[in-house]
């Protein structure tokens, strides 16, 4: 780990002023940032510790029924907040399926949004990685790439975004509040993360010094609470990132889907919103045939970036399963294995 200056600001304004200096990086719980610093992937010249900034650790319910979650709220605290988990059960399920209990007790909402890819070539300083060192190349293209992107990738980068939390947030039109030297602005979560194109090093829409201070979920998102699920397939039952995942939320009235929300994880450099599939489902009766058609449409643009053609069919099956589970209704009790296809929910299938 390189030497760096350490700053603990007393306010958001002080934090932003400090972080606008070149070579600066924010630090909250550090569950991702410290790991990157230890291996030399991140080498900030100054670390701006925001972990004790006042007012950013609150869950605030808005007058219209929406919710504002401070950037320093811990993942576990949010997932186990009874009002939040009842209003947004798919988000709570995603939170509880990520990392270990110890990490969820430390990791923050804002930090989760800003996670870096877990691509091994990004973490290996001996490998070429355009995301870490622009213009150096992408060793993943000809390397071990079975878990890499099948949507939105480019010849410059085939990495995937690792967050579970962000997938249902993208589906439910969450908004990120950002403070900057120019003032506060809102960014739709679906627009926060960028696809790689020719500049994979530009991972988000944030500028230097920008600080995420809160996340908002609109009141409309709570209308999906009765039919909302997050499903994640991983290579081991716990503490593993998604091979593929899907967040499905439906509003069903009179036996007809009136509104649908669908997003995929583990398939691209950002959570992938499947708007075409959503439009197909609107007005249809929930049934396996229409769910299968929606899953096919959600992956219509998918193509392998390496030895990962299997992920396309796997993602289709996970989407179909997530829609089917959402159609059956949100469980009254969170499954013992949140988001797992092997969760012991009565009537659950045990094959993707």
Q: What is the CATH number of the domain that holds 321?
A: 3.30.390.50
What percent of the chain is predicted at pLDDT more than 90?
Answer: 91
Query: For residue 247, is it within any domain?
Result: yes
Q: How confident is the model at residue 323 (pLDDT cuts 50, 70, 90)?
A: very high
Residue 248 pLDDT > 90: yes
The predicted pLDDT at position 350 comes to 37
The answer to whether residue 10 scores a pLDDT higher than 50 is: yes
Residue 222 has pLDDT above 70, yes or no: yes
DSSP three-state, residue 1: coil
Please tell me the number of Cα atoms within 13 Å of 132 on its side-chain side: 25
Mean pLDDT of the chain: 95
Q: Is 116 contained in some domain?
A: no
Query: Any idea what DSSP says for residue 157?
Result: B
Q: What is the pLDDT of residue 44?
A: 97
- Structural domain that includes position 257: 226-328
User: Residue 238: pLDDT above 80?
Assistant: no
pTM beyond 0.85: the answer is yes
Residue 255 has a pLDDT of 97
Give a yes or no: residue 146 inside a domain: no
Last residue of a domain, one of 14, 34, 52: 52
Q: How many domains does the chain have?
A: 2
pLDDT tops 80 at residue 237: no
Residue 220 has pLDDT above 70, yes or no: yes
Structure tokens at 336: 């013992």
Lowest mean pLDDT among 23-37, 96-110, 248-262, 338-352: 338-352
| SS3 assignment, position 323 | helix
Number of Cβ atoms within 10 Å of the Cβ of 183: 7
Would residue 5 count as lying in a domain?
yes
237 within domain boundaries: yes
Q: How far apart are CA 41 and CA 118, in angstroms?
A: 12
Residue 345: pLDDT band (50, 70, 90) is low
**Residues counted in the chain:** 352
Say yes or no to pLDDT of 17 above 50: yes
Count CB atoms within 10 A of the CB of residue 19: 24
Is 166 contained in some domain? no
The tens digit of pLDDT for each residue in 170-219 reads: 999 999 999 999 999 999 999 999 999 999 999 999 999 999 999 999 99
More confidently predicted of 111 and 348: 111
In a domain, 164, yes or no: no
Q: Which of 106, 47, 119 is nearest to 78 (CA)?
A: 106
User: Of the ranges 1-5, 190-194, 261-265, 298-302, which one carries the lowest mean pLDDT score?
Assistant: 1-5
Sheet order of strands, 24-27 included: 5-7, 46-49, 24-27
**Residue with tokens 């602005």, as numbered in its chain:** 185
In this structure, what CATH number is given to the domain that contains residue 31? 3.30.43.10
pLDDT given for residue 344 in this prediction: 58
* Terminal Cα-to-Cα distance of the chain (whole angstroms): 42
Mean pLDDT of 96-106: 92
Q: Which of 92, 70, 90 is nearest to 82 (CA)?
A: 92
Whether 8 maps to a domain, the answer reads yes
Tokens of 242: 């998604």
Strand residue runs (E) in the chain: 5-7, 24-27, 46-49, 59-61, 67-70, 175-180, 183-188, 211-217, 228-234, 242-253, 256-265, 272-273
Cβ-based neighbours of 80, under 8 Å, separated by 6 or more: 92
């Amino acid at each position: 780990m390189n030497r760096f200056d350490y700053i603990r600001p007393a306010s958001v304004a002080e934090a932003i002023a400090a972080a606008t200096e070149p070579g600066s990086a924010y630090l909250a719980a550090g569950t991702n940032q410290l790991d990157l610093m230890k291996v030399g992937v991140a080498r900030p010249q100054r670390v701006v510790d925001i972990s004790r900034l006042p007012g950013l650790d609150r869950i605030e319910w808005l007058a219209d029924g929406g919710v504002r979650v401070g950037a320093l709220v811990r993942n576990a605290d949010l997932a186990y907040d009874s009002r939040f988990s009842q209003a947004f059960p798919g988000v709570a399920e995603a939170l509880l399926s990520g990392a270990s209990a110890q990490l969820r007790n430390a990791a923050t909402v804002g930090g989760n949004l800003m996670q870096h890819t877990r691509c091994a070539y990004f973490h290996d300083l001996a490998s070429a990685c355009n995301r870490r060192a622009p213009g150096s190349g992408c060793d993943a293209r000809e390397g071990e790439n079975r878990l890499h992107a099948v949507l939105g990738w480019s010849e410059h980068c085939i990495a995937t975004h690792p967050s579970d939390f962000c997938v249902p947030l993208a589906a439910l039109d969450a908004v990120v509040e950002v403070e900057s030297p120019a003032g506060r602005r809102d960014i739709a979560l679906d627009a926060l993360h960028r696809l790689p194109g020719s500049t994979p090093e530009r991972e988000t829409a944030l500028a230097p010094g920008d600080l995420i201070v809160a996340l908002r979920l609109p009141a409309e998102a709570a209308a999906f609470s009765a039919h909302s699920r997050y499903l994640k397939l991983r290579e081991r039952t716990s503490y593993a990132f998604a091979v593929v995942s899907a967040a499905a939320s439906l509003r069903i009235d009179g036996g007809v889907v009136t509104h649908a929300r669908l997003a995929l994880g583990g398939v691209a450099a950002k959570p992938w919103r499947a708007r075409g599939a959503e439009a197909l489902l609107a007005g249809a009766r929930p049934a396996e045939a229409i769910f299968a058609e929606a899953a096919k449409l959600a992956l219509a643009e998918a193509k392998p970036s390496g030895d990962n053609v299997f992920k396309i069919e796997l993602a289709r099956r996970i989407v179909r399963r997530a829609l089917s589970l959402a159609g059956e209704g949100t469980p009254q009790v969170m499954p013992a294995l949140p988001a797992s296809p092997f969760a012991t929910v009565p009537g659950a299938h045990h094959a993707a």
